[in-house]
């Protein structure tokens, strides 16, 4: 049995971790950490867990926790893990961090976009960016996994094969993203009240959202050149789900006769298949079918597809996933499975819930 502790168990991502780990054959949750609800029964905060979880919420004590568990999930505000992490902790347990603290390799970039000083940059080099489909090998043996952000997961997986295969112009990339409201967290803010979110849609963090450099870094690896792009998130009146609509100009490819031509639908398809054919959780949809968030809700799937616009020479890449599962807790479990040699989809086999 893998003994697990969750720091930040009463946020939405933490709650989803509990749901998923309860269904994992080989995990036992030993610690429900929650700064806000210390000493309260976990099931009184998340009543869906009534009679399923008897534990009481505990303080966020990483050092104490590291001695008791095999893996710690930190679903905490930015800066928390960077402030608390030390060698003692990492030598006693594995850490899967759902915050952004160790996702970005360049400390200066992190500090600029997040507006805080990074308190333990010495651990950044060893942190593995936990996007399993791309970094699977690097995960083995890792002590510290930086679980990707929700927007980056969906964005990167939707775009990666085309950049990697040199089929699109990196400098033309634009990502227009739409997210359900659970991505905004469980904090009591007027802007997230039902009546403020319901029956409305808006862009936010335009040209300034913190997931931008994370996406750029990962896509730069794929493109083997620096990628600078536009990323615009939108808030959608629904609980779960992220949809990515990404735009890029297709590169013209040399033809047998020496001319240049846009890639064909089949060439694009083959690029996606090359990287995702064996993947459990990435579903390349059938031609012409657009991803919709309703078809992945509650599951770890990312549905991707594309449409070529020959009029403009652009391609529209689309991806849909559940921000709390593949975008947070599900991917964290997937990472844990890799770390501990479990089947990658253990605990993650539930089909999407519809409607």
Task: Check residue 19 and report its DSSP letter.
Answer: H
- The binder of a second copy chosen from 5, 161, 241, 347 (CB under 8 A): 241
Q: Which residues pair with 177 in a beta bridge?
A: 233, 244
Site membership for a second copy, residue 344 (CB under 8 A): no
Rounded distance, CA 25 to CA 32, Å? Answer: 19
Q: Closer to a second copy at the Cβ: 88 or 309? A: 309
In a 3-state reduction of DSSP, which class is residue 27? strand
Instruction: State the minimum distance, in angstroms, from the CB of residue 313 to a second copy.
Output: 9
Angstrom distance (rounded) from CA 128 to CA 142: 7
Q: Which of 9, 236, 250, 302 binds a second copy (CB under 8 A)?
A: 236
Shortest distance (Å) from residue 25 CB to a second copy: 11
Query: CB of residue 177 vs a second copy: minimum separation in angstroms?
Result: 10
Interaction with a second copy in 271-290: which residues (CB under 8 A)?
283, 285-286, 289-290
Structure tokens at 340: 């501990």
Alpha-carbon gap, residue 74 to 62, rounded angstroms = 9
Q: By CB under 8 A, is residue 240 in contact with a second copy?
A: yes
Distance CA 80, CA 236 (A): 28
Residue span binding a second copy (CB under 8 A) among the ranges 96-104, 108-116, 233-241, 340-348: 233-241
Residues numbered 178 to 217 that lie near a second copy (CB under 8 A) are 178, 180-182, 186-190, 192-204, 206-207
SS3 302: strand
- For residue 355, with 0-12 CB atoms within 10 Å meaning exposed, 13-18 middle and 19 or more buried, which class applies? exposed
DSSP assignment of 203-251: E-STTT-THHHHHHHHHHHHHTS----EEEEEE-SSSS-EEEEEEEEBP
- How many residues of this chain bind a second copy (CB under 8 A)? 85
Q: Judged by CB under 8 A, which stretch of 98-106, 129-137, 269-277, 346-354 contacts a second copy? A: 346-354
* Subset of residues 7 to 66 that bind a second copy, contact rule: CB under 8 A: 12, 15, 18-19, 22-23, 44, 46-52
Residue ranges in 318-337 that form contacts with a second copy under rule CB under 8 A: 318, 320
Residue 290 bears catalytic tag: no
Binding a second copy by CB under 8 A: which of 14, 149, 161, 298?
298
Which of 352, 350, 314, 354 lies closest to 21 in space, CA to CA? 350
Interface segment toward a second copy; rule CB under 8 A; list 77-85, 116-124, 127-135, 242-250:
242-250
Q: Could you please report the per-residue DSSP string of 241-259? A: -EEEEEEEEBPPEE-TTS-
Site for a second copy in 67-126 (CB under 8 A): none
Between 254 and 351, CB nearer to a second copy: 351
- Here the contacts of 52-59 (C-beta below 8 Å, separation 24 or greater) are 52/22, 53/18, 53/22, 53/29, 55/29, 56/32, 57/9, 57/10, 57/32, 57/33, 58/31, 58/32, 58/33, 58/34, 59/33, 59/35
CB 69 within 8 A of CB 5: yes
CB of residue 86 to a second copy, shortest distance in Å: 33
Is 137 a binding residue for a second copy by CB under 8 A? The answer is no
**Binds a second copy (CB under 8 A): choice among 158, 245, 323, 337:** 245
Catalytic residue among 57, 132, 150, 154: 150
Task: Give the relative orientation of helices 132-139 and 330-339 as an angle to the nearest 10 degrees.
Answer: 30
| 300: nearest Cα among 10, 20, 3, 11 | 20
Tokens representing 79 are 């800066």
Considering only residues 63, 122, 264, 312, which one is a binding residue for a second copy as defined by CB under 8 A? 312
- Tell the smallest beta-carbon distance from residue 301 to a second copy (Å): 8
Among 157, 296, 302, 339, binds a second copy (CB under 8 A): 296
Q: Quick one: 94 or 326, whose CB is closer to a second copy?
A: 326
Which residues carry out catalysis? 150
């Amino acid at each position: 049995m893998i003994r697990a502790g969750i720091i930040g168990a009463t946020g939405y991502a933490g709650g989803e971790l509990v749901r998923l780990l309860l269904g994992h054959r080989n995990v036992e949750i030993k610690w429900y950490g929650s700064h806000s609800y210390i000493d309260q029964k976990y099931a009184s905060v998340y009543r869906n867990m009534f009679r399923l979880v008897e534990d009481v919420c505990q303080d966020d004590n990483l050092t104490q926790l590291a001695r008791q568990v095999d893996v710690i999930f930190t679903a905490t505000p930015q800066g928390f893990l960077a402030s608390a992490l030390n060698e003692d902790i990492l030598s006693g347990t594995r850490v899967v961090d759902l915050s952004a603290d160790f996702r970005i390799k360049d400390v200066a970039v992190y500090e600029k976009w997040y507006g805080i000083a990074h308190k333990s940059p010495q651990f950044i080099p060893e942190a593995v960016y936990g996007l399993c489909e791309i970094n699977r090998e690097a995960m083995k043996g890792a002590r510290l996994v930086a679980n990707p952000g929700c927007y980056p997961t969906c964005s990167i997986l939707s775009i990666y094969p085309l950049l990697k295969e040199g089929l699109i112009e990196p400098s033309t990339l634009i990502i227009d993203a739409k997210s359900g409201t659970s991505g905004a967290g469980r904090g009591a803010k007027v802007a997230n009240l039902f009546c403020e979110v319901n029956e409305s849609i808006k862009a936010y963090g335009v040209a300034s959202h913190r997931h931008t450099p994370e996406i750029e870094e990962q896509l730069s690896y794929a493109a083997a050149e620096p990628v600078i792009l536009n990323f615009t998130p939108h808030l959608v009146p629904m609980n779960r789900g992220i949809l990515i609509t990404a735009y890029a100009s297709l590169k013209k490819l040399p033809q047998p006769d020496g001319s240049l031509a846009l890639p064909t639908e089949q060439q694009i398809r083959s690029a996606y298949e090359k990287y995702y054919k064996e993947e459990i959780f990435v579903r390349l949809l059938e031609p012409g079918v657009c991803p919709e968030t309703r078809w992945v809700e509650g599951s770890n799937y990312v549905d991707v597809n594309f449409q070529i616009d020959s009029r403009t020479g652009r391609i529209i890449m689309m991806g849909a996933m559940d921000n709390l599962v593949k975008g947070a807790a599900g991917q964290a479990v997937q990472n844990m499975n890799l770390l501990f040699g479990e089947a990658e989809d253990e605990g993650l086999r539930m089909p999407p819930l519809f409607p």
